[in-house]
Amino acid sequence: MHGTPHIVGDVMTRSAVTVRRATSFTDIVRIMRDQHVSALPVLGGGRRVTGIVSATDLLPKHAFRESPPNHSERLRRLADTTKADGTTAGDLMTSPAITAGPDTTLAEAARTMTQARVKHLPVVDGQGFLVGIVSRADLLKVFLRDDEEIAEEVRREVVSYLFPGPRSSVWVEVHGGIVTVRGRVGDPDLIPAAARLARAVEGVVDVEFAPTEDGGTGRP
């Protein structure tokens, strides 16, 4: 199979808005408001990423504004109270930042975000220099792929690979990202593998196999 997965470099924002370690709390808030962003990579020397500051990092300042935490709460919520005392990006940032490379697949980036419970990943090159930023919303753009584009990839990368030759007569339809494979397949035992491969195609929401009179199956 020769299909190339979509990668972070395809969907990332290249002109990422950034701050320096010395950027003040107020300036961070102002930049987020003016640029309509909720996370900012923090740069050190050159364009090397030293951390990332997000709206979540700023909220403790607001949360503890009216009722400062007592000693026991301060110990229990040490990370939050430390951020509540912060005044610059260097104080507030999460460091080291969890990053991705431009060649990271969308699936890998989504897995990293889910496991780390973050909403943004600075994108860095091999030397650690910032080349962009990717968000959860960016990763979801793949589900806006054209249905016929998805269908063609399934035909090329799945159907022709697993069901070639005269014993198979297969049609692929895609509506709203849902792939339906109809017709006769030469080896029905390959249907579960075909479904798994089709689901791996970027933009596929679900896969269904429609039965035929002489074999096949329903939803795998």
**Tens of pLDDT along 171-213?**
999 999 999 998 888 788 888 999 999 998 989 999 998 866 5
Domains of the chain from N-terminus onward: 8-141 (3.10.580.10), 145-209 (3.30.1340)
- Looking at residue 21, its pLDDT comes to 94
Two tokens, residue 73: 């709460």
Virtual torsion, Cα 81, 85, 89, 94, nearest 10 deg = -10
The predicted-structure confidence for 46-85, as pLDDT tens digits, reads as follows 789 999 999 988 887 665 555 555 555 544 454 555 566 7
Two tokens, residue 194: 């075909």
Spatial separation of the C-alpha atoms in residues 159 and 131, rounded to whole Å: 37
The whole-number average pLDDT for the span 23-32 is: 96
Contact between residue 203 and residue 150 where contact means Cβ atoms under 8 Å apart: yes
For residue 27, pLDDT beyond 90 = yes
Sign of the torsion angle spanned by Cα atoms 73, 76, 78, 80: negative
- Looking at residue 80, its pLDDT comes to 54
For residue 22, pLDDT beyond 90 = yes
DSSP codes, the chain: ------BHHHHSBSS---EETT-BHHHHHHHHHHHT-SEEEEE-STTBEEEEEEHHHHHHHHHTSSS---HHHHHHTHHHHHHHT--BHHHH-BSSPP-B-TT-BHHHHHHHHHHHT-SEEEEE-TTSBEEEEEEHHHHHGGGGS-HHHHHHHHIIIIIHHHS-STT-EEEEEEETTEEEEEEE-S-GGGHHHHHHHHHTSTT--EEEE--BTTB--S--
Contact between residue 25 and residue 107 where contact means Cβ atoms under 8 Å apart: no
Spatial separation of the C-alpha atoms in residues 38 and 29, rounded to whole Å: 9
- Measured from the Cβ of residue 19, the count of other Cβ atoms closer than 10 Å reads 23
